Amino acid sequence: MGFSSVAQTNQRQANLDKMVAISEQYQLAVEDLTAGRYEIARQRLEWVLSQDPNFPGASQRLIEALAILYATATPTPIPTETPVPATATLTTTPDLQPFQDLLDSAHAHLAEGDWNGVIDTLINLRGMDPAYQVVQVDRMLYLALRQRGVDKILHQGDLEGGSYDLALAERFGPLDAEANNVREWARIYHYGSAFWGADPKTAVYYFSQVAAAAPYLNDGTGWTAIERYRAVLIQYGDKLASQGDWCNAEQQYRLALSIRVDQAVSTTADYAAYQCNPPTATPTLTPTVTMTPTPTITETPAPSWTPEPSNLPPATETPAPSMPATVSPLPSETILPSQPVNPSPSPTETTPPPVETPTPPAMPSETPIVTATPTPTPTETATVEITPGPPPTKKKP
């Protein structure tokens, strides 16, 4: 579509250049006729008719030139003394009223804003006499072509026709800023259309500019610049998504949604956002409480020991010492060591009770081990009676 448009524009430009060249040659031919250069005027007019046989006024001007060239008022000289009569010169006075009528009609069309009427009337006038009121005709042609070109681009959707009219107007004078901007918008719109469907990224670049400056500019198909911009954003997002570039694809979808809300596009944008930033597994922390028991050491006091008085009764009458209620007897396997006989003035000898050795507390660690401290078992006190004779035997408790 874009390449065909460029070819058509080039063809129109070539036709325009040809028309301008023909008009220039015709105008020069008229000037040559006025200056009496009839042969040069004939050559110019013949070339004009060879390029455009229906060019207005060219045939009539050529007839005038030929009539003057081939008309002779000088008779063949006779060899006598009769003086040669002067050469007669044919002169014609053109009727300028039809030209003025056409010029007045062009002014009326210009006041009404009928740009087509102005251009058609002035082209007709210029075909009849290119030299008639050249300044006025050029100025009116410039205004009419400029206004018609801007109107075609902005309101009729004829971007190519409007650009062509502005190019013609530019031959009569420089365009103003507004006309230049309008023509530039049409040019960028055409560039974006050339990349439509083929290169969405480049199309986004061009249509983003037109959508910002002239959002409702269209090319006669009903597609405005803002809608084309939205469509190519979605195309570009789809292309990025197919390449796995989900983050940039989401940006394009969001831009399209900022122009107009679309549920389908919104769903696609959400999916692209999910693919761009997928959720990660969050570890669950389970608190572990470690109970460190505090070892408790219970000290059992040793049983009190009271020395026997010196006047103890005989051993046969001495009862066994009573055991405390909290003291467990020694196991049967325990045998008390023998006591050496040590005669003393006292008739009895008492074995002192064992001394308790305290167990040091356990040092705490990461996983303390509580060691139960056994309760010391008191040793039963035995009373040995010293009698003459054999040594005393060991008594079991």
User: Tell me, what's the pLDDT at 345?
Assistant: 45
Q: Which residues of 38-57 are buried (b: 16+ CB within 10 A; e: fewer)?
A: bebbbebbeebbeeeeebbb
Query: 164 and 116 in one domain?
Result: yes
Range of the domain at 154: 97-175
Query: 211 and 167 in one domain?
Result: no
| Number of domains forming the structure of the chain | 3
Query: 226 and 260 in one domain?
Result: yes
CATH code, domain carrying 199? 1.25.40
User: Tell me, what's the pLDDT at 248?
Assistant: 95
Tens-digit pLDDT profile for residues 182-226:
999 999 999 999 999 899 999 999 999 999 999 999 998 889 999
Structural domain contains residue 293: no
Q: How far apart are CA 376 and CA 358, in angstroms?
A: 9
Per the DSSP assignment, residues forming a β-bridge with 384 are 349
Structural domain contains residue 299: no
Structural domain contains residue 298: no
State the Cα torsion 154-158-162-163 to the nearest 10°. 110
User: Tell me, what's the pLDDT at 291?
Assistant: 60
Query: 66 and 8 in one domain?
Result: yes
Query: 272 and 198 in one domain?
Result: yes
Element (H, E) at 348: strand 348-350
Euclidean distance between the first and the last CA atom of the chain, given in angstroms as a whole number: 125
Pairing of strands 383-385, 348-350: antiparallel
Structural domain contains residue 307: no
Residue with tokens 């979605």, as numbered in its chain: 234
User: Tell me, what's the pLDDT at 236?
Assistant: 95
Q: Residue 277 corresponds to which amino acid?
A: N
Answer whether 351's CB lies under 8 Å from 339's CB: yes
Choose the final residue of a domain: 251, 276, 301.
276
- Angle of helix 159-170 versus helix 134-155 axis, rounded to 10: 160
How wide is the angle at C-alpha 156 spanned by C-alphas 155 and 158, nearest 5°? 125
Q: Among residues 192, 188, 194, 187, which one has the least CA distance to residue 160?
A: 187
Collapsing DSSP states into helix, strand and coil, what is residue 212?
helix
Choose the final residue of a domain: 225, 259, 276.
276
Structural domain contains residue 355: no
The rounded average pLDDT for each run of 10 residues, N- to C-terminus, in the chain (397 residues) is 56 72 82 82 82 78 73 41 47 72 92 93 88 89 94 93 92 90 94 92 95 93 93 95 94 94 94 90 61 60 51 49 46 44 45 50 47 47 47 50
Specify the long-range contacts of residues 88-92, CB closer than 8 Å, at least 24 apart: 92/64
Query: 48 and 111 in one domain?
Result: no
Q: How far apart are CA 275 and CA 17, in angstroms?
A: 57
Choose the final residue of a domain: 276, 296, 330.
276
Query: Rg of the Cα trace of the chain?
Result: 65
Structural domain contains residue 340: no
How many residues are recorded in the chain?
397
Residues whose CB is less than 8 angstroms from the CB of residue 157 and which lie 6 or more positions away in sequence, other chains included: 218, 219, 220, 221
User: Tell me, what's the pLDDT at 326?
Assistant: 43
Structural domain contains residue 362: no
Tens-digit pLDDT profile for residues 149-186:
999 999 999 999 999 999 999 988 888 999 999 999 99
User: Tell me, what's the pLDDT at 56?
Assistant: 79
Its pTM stands at 0.49
Structural domain contains residue 289: no
Q: How far apart are CA 126 and CA 137, in angstroms?
A: 8
Q: How far apart are CA 287 and CA 145, in angstroms?
A: 85
Kindly report the backbone phi and psi dihedral angles of residue 96, in degrees, each rounded to the nearest multiple of 5, phi listed first.
-90, -5
- Angle of helix 263-276 versus helix 225-242 axis, rounded to 10: 40
User: Tell me, what's the pLDDT at 303?
Assistant: 53
Q: How far apart are CA 200 and CA 10, in angstroms?
A: 26
User: Tell me, what's the pLDDT at 200?
Assistant: 94
